[in-house]
Amino acid sequence: MRNRTVPTRLRLLDDGAAVEVELKGAPYRFHAIWLRDNAQDAATRSPTNGQRLITLLDIPGDTRIADAHWEGERLIVRFEPEAKVVDYDAAWLLAQAYDKPPPQQPGWTGQEIKRWDAGLSSALPAEDYHAVETDPVARLRWLNALRSYGFVRLTGAPTKPGVALAVAALFGYVRETNYGRDFDVRAAVNPSNLAYTNLGLQAHTDNPYRDPAPGLQILACLQNTVEGGESIVIDGFKAVERLQAQSPSGFQQLAQHCARFEYAGAADVRLRSKRPIIELGPDGELIAVRFNNRSAAAFMDIPFDDMAAYYTAYRRMAELIEDPALAVSFKLAPGEAFIVDNLRVLHARKPLTSQGARWLQGCYADKDGFLSTLAVLEERVGMG
């Protein structure tokens, strides 16, 4: 981010409503009101906790830049009518610059997201529990893989109850639900959820009937002596990319209309949501995928004239997530765990084909704590 050539050139625009400066050889414009609102001085931002001490209404609506000039790598700006002088670091300005081309086509993701297919099988991201627990570099590598791929494995974990909670504590906070803080996944008679059977489960994201849906799911293995029951993971963002390439209109169908999901498998639970299968931000960023055949409710927010096309796209999406070319398969041994970004990566289970003991424990966690921990590690350790 450091700029070897000290910036010098700038010009005021529109009577000081904005300023154009050169940063690393390229021109960027900044509005007076934006600069003033984002001043970092001690009267505007608390030096101790970084929170803004003023509101937008404390800033005059007719704020203008009366003067701006460079002093080394700092831009000195005088605002009127406040007669307030604030300075900005060139690197900070470049990092926050908003005078840039608009977002790409809908479905884009940031550079930190790496979409993957079956090829990931040869290099599944994994770290050792003890290393992650004790070594910040290993922890950073592990969490960075989770952000990039929406999936990461863990080996050498404890094989005792509470293991999923212990894994969550490595980076964040458990999301408690009606299933408890953590839950057991074992075959049961008259199960309240099909997960507690010997059946295979189609690839899915967990709990789309919940709003917000859990951002992360941890599954840890305590015992496994059965045949079958392999785990499969599929990058939902990759499936969306394929769908979009094959059928732009199908992609639009699943993004522009809400699906509905429901879970009412226990007497005291009626969980319902109305959310799209492909969720885009207002700027078209792909931010979530929800897919779950077991809990999909009757869709009733899709106009009659679109329903047939919607179902065609939904079927295409189902075919894509069953495509072996996208799937990564592995079998959990005791002491192994994995985490999925539950708003991106689908997981599946093959049927259990023999008697024996298969005992997993799982829990949910939200992404905010995970991403916060990752950001702190990046600051402290760097991307070594």
By CB under 8 A, the residues from 142 to 171 that bind a copy of itself are none
Closest CA to 344 of 61, 151, 188: 151
Which of helix, strand or coil describes residue 119?
helix
Measured at the CA of 200, the angle between CA 325 and CA 188, to 5 degrees, comes to 155
Quickly count: other Cβ atoms within 10 Å of residue 300's Cβ: 10
Kindly state the number of chain residues that form the binding site for a copy of itself, as judged by CB under 8 A: 95
User: What tokens appear for 83 in the block?
Assistant: 């007669």
Of the candidates 72, 281, 324, 351, which one interacts with a copy of itself according to CB under 8 A? 281
Q: Tokens 């949910």 map to which residue?
A: 364
Closest CA to 47 of 59, 55, 39: 39
User: What tokens appear for 382 in the block?
Assistant: 């760097």
CB 369, CB 172: distance < 8 Å: yes
What one-character DSSP code corresponds to residue 46? -
Of the candidates 211, 249, 325, 354, which one interacts with a copy of itself according to CB under 8 A? 211
Least Cβ distance, residue 311 to a copy of itself (angstroms): 5
Pairwise CA distance, residues 139 & 129, whole Å:
9
Closest CA to 364 of 189, 167, 216: 216
Closer CB to a copy of itself, 212 or 351, in the complex = 212
Interface mask (CB under 8 A) for a copy of itself, residues 13-52, using x and -? ----x-----------x-x-xx--xx-------x-xxxxx
Q: Does 223 bind a copy of itself (CB under 8 A)?
A: no
Pairwise CA distance, residues 344 & 49, whole Å:
33
Closer CB to a copy of itself, 79 or 222, in the complex = 79
Least Cβ distance, residue 122 to a copy of itself (angstroms): 28
Pairwise CA distance, residues 107 & 288, whole Å:
10
Closer CB to a copy of itself, 121 or 319, in the complex = 319
CB 206, CB 276: distance < 8 Å: no
Least Cβ distance, residue 97 to a copy of itself (angstroms): 7
Instruction: Report the site for a copy of itself in 235-274 (rule: CB under 8 A).
Output: 255-258, 262-274
User: What tokens appear for 205 in the block?
Assistant: 């994201």
Q: Does 219 bind a copy of itself (CB under 8 A)?
A: no
Stretch that binds a copy of itself, among 93-101, 129-137, 138-146, 150-158 (CB under 8 A): 93-101
Closer CB to a copy of itself, 62 or 333, in the complex = 62
Pairwise CA distance, residues 77 & 85, whole Å:
6
Measured at the CA of 317, the angle between CA 315 and CA 323, to 5 degrees, comes to 105
Instruction: Report the site for a copy of itself in 314-373 (rule: CB under 8 A).
Output: 314-315, 318-319, 322, 366-369, 371-373
Q: Does 173 bind a copy of itself (CB under 8 A)?
A: yes
Closer CB to a copy of itself, 123 or 267, in the complex = 267
Q: Phi then psi for 132, rounded to 5 degrees?
A: -65, -35
Of the candidates 112, 379, 382, 384, which one interacts with a copy of itself according to CB under 8 A? 379
Stretch that binds a copy of itself, among 115-123, 128-136, 313-321, 351-359 (CB under 8 A): 313-321
Closer CB to a copy of itself, 236 or 336, in the complex = 236
Least Cβ distance, residue 128 to a copy of itself (angstroms): 23
Instruction: Report the site for a copy of itself in 175-204 (rule: CB under 8 A).
Output: 175-178, 190-194, 202
